[in-house]
Structure 1
C-alpha cells in the first residue's frame, strides 16, 4: 500500500518560505489586498494553471518492467527459485503479457484526461474491506508552536481552524500557489517568471515552466481535501464531496458537534466567534458518549456499510449528511501526551471513540496542544495533506488570529453549536459495542518505538557524495539482516505527481548491492578494507538513486504489473503463472514498508505495518541526525530492530570517517 507521503524523488518544495507580496486585486467588484484575512496569500499564477498541460504518466515498456522485476527479485531468491521466476516472467513477456500490455496502451491512449493507474488504484482502495484504521490511515504530527503559550488547546484549535478555512478559500479562489518543483528557483520561483507564465495558455504552461527547469505537480487531488468523506458501501466504498458545506465537525469525548465557520456569503466567521464556539464545546459537561458512533468508522467496511444503512433507517440520515459534508473533522482530546510514543499511538488510532476515520482528514488536538493530522488514504497520497499542513503551521505561527488572553466573542454559542444526537436502537448499540471490541483487539497488538541517530545526517552524507535516502534504506536492510539473518521484501513509496493524475510508484530498496554491502558489514566486518566498504556504499547509493529517478518518472515495475493484472481480472481471464508464482506473492508481502518525510511543520509521521509480520517505518534524514518511527505487531521485535538499525548507522558513519569496523 502507498503509505504516508510518497514524495521521494520529487523532494517536497517547501512553500513555507515563499514571500507574500501585498498587491490589490478586484474580484466581483470587491478590492482585496494580499493581507486580506480571507486568504493565505494571492498567487500571481492561478492554482490550476498547469493542470491542463501536465505530461501523462507513461506506461513503461513491457521488457523494461520485466527486467526491473527480475532485478528486484534477485536478492530475495535462491538460484532455483530465481530460475523459476525468470522462466515465468519471460513466458509472460512473450505471451499473454504482450497482449495485455498492448491493450493497456490502447486503453491509455483513449483516456488522455487521466493516467492508466488512476482508476485501478481508486478501485483497489475503495474495494478493500479491511478497517481503514491501521491498514490505511497514516498520521503526521505538527511541531509545537514555537511560542509555548500558543500551544493551549483552545488557542491552537481556534488558530488551526481559521488557517484551515483560509487555505480552503485560497485554494477554491484559485489563489493558492501552484505546486511546483523548482530545480533552479533563482530563475523559476520569481515574480518576474510568474508574471510571464500566467499569460501563457494553460494548454502550454507546463512547457513554459519546463524551459526554466521547473516541474509543476498534479493538483487534481486537492478538491477532495475539504467537505469530503469515504462512504461505506457493500463491496466497494464511494467518495463523497459537497463543497457547499460551511460547517466544521468537532468531536469531544465521543460526542459530535457542528457549527458554521463561514457566513452565508462564504466569508470566514470572526475568529473570536470560532473561539467562543470551541470554548463552548470544551466547557460542555455532557458526559462521554455511552455509544460513541465514531468507532463504527473503524469497522470492517461491509459491516460498517450495513450499520450505516441501519442508522439511516432509524432517521439519522440528515445527521450523517452533516458529518459527511463538514469541511473536516476537529478531534479535541482530553488526554495530555506523555511522549513521542504516546503521540504516535494517539494520532494513529486513539481510543476509537473520538474519531471519524472516514473524513478526508481530521485534525487532532490533545489537551496539551499537541496536534496532528490523520487522513483517509483512498482519495490521495499525502502531497496535498503535507502542503496543507505546512501552510497551516506557517499561518498559525506567523499570523495567529487569536492570542493568549484573547476574549471569545460575546455570542450565543449554545444556539450556534449543534450537538449531533443519533437515534440508536439495540442493534446499533450492539454494533458500536462490537466495533469497540474489535478496535481494542486490533490496536492492542500494535507496538511503536522510535530512534534518533545523533552522530550524523544529511550534511555529512552529501559531503561524502552519498544519497541520504540510500543510506537510511541501507541501514534498514543491514538492521533486518542483523536481526533476522535475511534480506526481505521492502517497499518505499515514491510520488508520480509530476504527471497528470499520477499516484505513486514503488522503489525497491532491497537490491543485489544492498545485500552484498549488508553481508560485508554485518557478517564479514574484518574481511574488507575501509576502501572496499566505502566502494560498496557508493554502489548502493548510485543504484538507489537510479531506482528513485526511474520511479519518480513512472518507470518502476510495480504499478505496470498491477495494472496488467487488474486488466486480466476485469476480463475474467485466469492469472498467468507470473502472478501465481510464490515469488510474486512474496515480493508484494512487504515486511519492510517505508516512507520518508521532512518538513518544518512536521515533528513525526507514522503508519502501521502493511502485513502482520512486518514493520511500518516512517523516517526522516535531517541535517545532522536521522530519525525513525517504527510500528509492528507481535510477530516482530521493534525495539531490537531499532537497535540493529542504530548499530548499522554507526558502522556506516564509522567507515565514512575512514575508520575500520571493530
Structure 2
C-alpha cells in the first residue's frame, strides 16, 4: 500500500537551529572572501557585539528557542517564511513569481490535439486529477535517497491566493482553521484578452468534466471574448502593483457587493488558465511572457497559473509565498508525464456536456478605471525595463560533468563565477537556493557560493602565468569546497536565515523583549555585502521543462535560472535594462567559460 501523502510530516526531523556562535562564525567565514580587511574587521566587531553575554543577540535567540519549543510549532522557521515572502512590499509580478516553460513533446502534450483549447484542456484535466488524488492523500510522498520529503507545500497548489495587505500580506488557502480540509471549489478561472471567466472543471456531483467537455468550454471562452478588454477594465493589472497599493485598490473593489463576489470567485478558484492570442516568436519570447506577460491577462496572486499560447505551447507561473520550485516540479512532472486519457480515467472524469462558463465582471467607477489604467502603464514600463537572454548548451549536461569527475552543480557554479569575473572584472556575492524538504516544514536554505577556494580557482584560471596542473587542482579544490558548503546548507548549518529571523523577531517583538536599539550586525559590511547579489542562481532539473526563470533581485543582479539535465543545460538570464550590456557580455563569457572549464577538466 502506498504511503499517504502527508503521513510522514509529523515524523520528519526538525530543521536544526544553529547556535548564535556558529552563525556568527559562519557569517564571518562566508563573507570574508568578499570583504576588505577593514570591512572584515568591522564585521568581526559587529558579530562580537551580537555575541555579548548580555547583548540583544542573546535575547532574540532565546526568544527563538522558546518559540521552537512551543507546542504545534514544526520549525523555528515557521514565522520566518511568512515574514520573508508576505512581508515584501514591492511588486510580486516579475520580482517574486517564477515560471517553467514546458516541453512540447511531453506525454500529456502528445496525447492531445495540437490546438490551444486541446492542450489547455489536457492540462486542466491533469491538474484536476492531481487535485482529487491530493484530497484523497494518494499522491505518494516524494523521496530522496529513500527518505520521504515534506509534502506540506502541496496544500498550496489549489485555491491558494495571496491577499494584499498593509503592512503584511496574508494567504487565503485550504487546510487552515478558516478553510478546513481541501478546497471544495469546482471551478477554475480562465483569462483571455483581459477578460476573466469562471469555468467549472468539476461537475455538480463531484465528477470531473471529460477532456472533450473542457475543450468545448475553452472554445466557448475563445468565442465569447472576440475583442481585447479595455485596458481600464482589466482588473488583473492591479495585481502588479506594490502590495500596499494593491491592498488599497482591493478594498475599494470590495465595497461593491458584485465586485466582492467576483473577487471571491477568482480567489477560491482551483487555479488560473491564461490563454494567449499570439504565438511566441521564439523560446525567449515564450519565457518572457511566462515571467510577466500582458498583465491584463494575469492574476499574479493565484498560486498556480497555467499559460497556453496560440499554438499550444504552455508553461506555468507560480506565486512564491507557499510554493518552491521542487514542489512545483514534482507537480508538473506528474501532470506532463501521463496522457490526458489516463488522467481522465484515474480521476473518474466523464462527459457531462458543456461546463458552466460565465464571465466574471466588475462594476468600476472613473477612479477605479484610472487606477487600473495607471497600474497597467506602470507595469508595462517596469516589464520593459527588464532585460533577458536565453543561453543553451545542447552538448553539455550532467552526464558529461560526471564523466569529468565533477559535481554537475559545482561545474555550473564554477562556470558562473569564471564568466562573471571575465565580464565584470570582479567577484560578487552569489546566492544559490538549496532545498531542505527532508525536514519538517522544510523549504530552502540560502547558500553563498563564493568561497576562498572559488576565488582562488578564478584567480588561477585568469592568470596566464599559472600552469595547467595548478589550474586543474584549483578547480578540483573549488568544486570540493562547493559540495561541502551545499551539504552544510542541506544540514541546516548556514547562518543567513537564522540571523535574518533574529532581525524579524526584533521587528515583531522588539519592544516586548526590550530590544529596541539598532543592532550593528545588520548594518555591518559583512551582512550587507554578502546579501547584495551580483548573481542569484537556482536550479530546476526536470525532463519535462525547457526553461525555468525568475526576475533579477537588485539593480545590478543577474538572475540565473537553470535546467541542468543529463543531455542539456538551459539557462534564463534576467537583469534590469540599464545593465543589460553586462548581462549579454556575461552570456558570451559563459559560453567560453564552460568550454574552457570542460577542456581543463578533460586535460587530466
**TM-score, length of structure 2 as denominator length:** 0.92
CA distance in 1, matches of 2:194, 2:395: 44
Please point out which of 480, 492, 514 is paired with 1:554: 492
- Return 5+ residue gaps in structure 1 as ranges: 1-42, 184-213, 403-407
Q: Does 1:498 align with 2:438?
A: yes
**Residue matched to 1:25:** none
Write out aligned runs for 1:197-276 (5 A). Answer: 214-242=146-174, 243-276=183-216
Could you tell which deviates more after superposition, 563-572 or 93-102?
Answer: 93-102
Asked whether the 8 Å contact 1:496–1:504 carries over to 2, the reply is yes
CA distance in 1, matches of 2:260, 2:571: 43
In the TM superposition, what whole-angstrom CA distance separates every residue of 1:315-353 from its partner, at most 9, and x where no partner exists?
311111100000000000001011111011110000111
Aligned-CA RMSD value:
1.9
**Residue matched to 1:54:** 12
**Residue matched to 1:644:** 589
Secondary structure of the residue that 2:92 maps to in structure 1?
Answer: coil
In the TM superposition, what whole-angstrom CA distance separates every residue of 1:624-656 from its partner, at most 9, and x where no partner exists?
443321011124222111111112111111111
**Residue matched to 2:459:** 519
Q: Does 1:70 align with 2:28?
A: yes
Asked whether the 8 Å contact 1:145–1:397 carries over to 2, the reply is no
**Residue matched to 1:536:** 474
- Return 5+ residue gaps in structure 2 as ranges: 175-182
Asked whether the 8 Å contact 1:296–1:304 carries over to 2, the reply is yes
Asked whether the 8 Å contact 1:126–1:236 carries over to 2, the reply is yes
Asked whether the 8 Å contact 1:56–1:112 carries over to 2, the reply is no
Task: Give the C-alpha shift of residue 409 in structure 1.
Answer: 6.8
Write out aligned runs for 1:29-108 (5 A). Answer: 44-95=2-53, 96=55, 97-108=57-68
**Residue matched to 2:92:** 132
Task: Give the C-alpha shift of residue 73 in structure 1.
Answer: 0.8
Task: Give the C-alpha shift of residue 279 in structure 1.
Answer: 1.4
**Residue matched to 2:255:** 313
Please point out which of 546, 563, 566 is paired with 2:504: 566
CA distance in 1, matches of 2:324, 2:161: 15
CA distance in 2, matches of 1:151, 1:286: 21
Please point out which of 644, 650, 654 is paired with 2:599: 654
Asked whether the 8 Å contact 2:191–2:297 carries over to 1, the reply is yes
Q: Does 1:372 align with 2:335?
A: no
CA distance in 2, matches of 1:269, 1:397: 12
CA distance in 2, matches of 1:168, 1:410: 19
**Residue matched to 1:187:** none
Asked whether the 8 Å contact 1:477–1:487 carries over to 2, the reply is yes
Asked whether the 8 Å contact 2:195–2:225 carries over to 1, the reply is no
CA distance in 1, matches of 2:2, 2:354: 40
CA distance in 2, matches of 1:410, 1:66: 62
Change (3 A) 1:541 1:495: same
Secondary structure of the residue that 1:46 maps to in structure 2?
Answer: coil
CA distance in 1, matches of 2:351, 2:46: 70
In the TM superposition, what whole-angstrom CA distance separates every residue of 1:417-453 from its partner, at most 9, and x where no partner exists?
1111111110110011000111011001111101123
Moved over 6 A (4+): none
Asked whether the 8 Å contact 2:291–2:550 carries over to 1, the reply is yes
In the TM superposition, what whole-angstrom CA distance separates every residue of 1:144-166 from its partner, at most 9, and x where no partner exists?
13539733211111111011000
Asked whether the 8 Å contact 1:276–1:410 carries over to 2, the reply is no
Task: Give the C-alpha shift of residue 231 in structure 1.
Answer: 1.2
Q: Does 1:457 align with 2:397?
A: yes
Asked whether the 8 Å contact 1:452–1:628 carries over to 2, the reply is yes
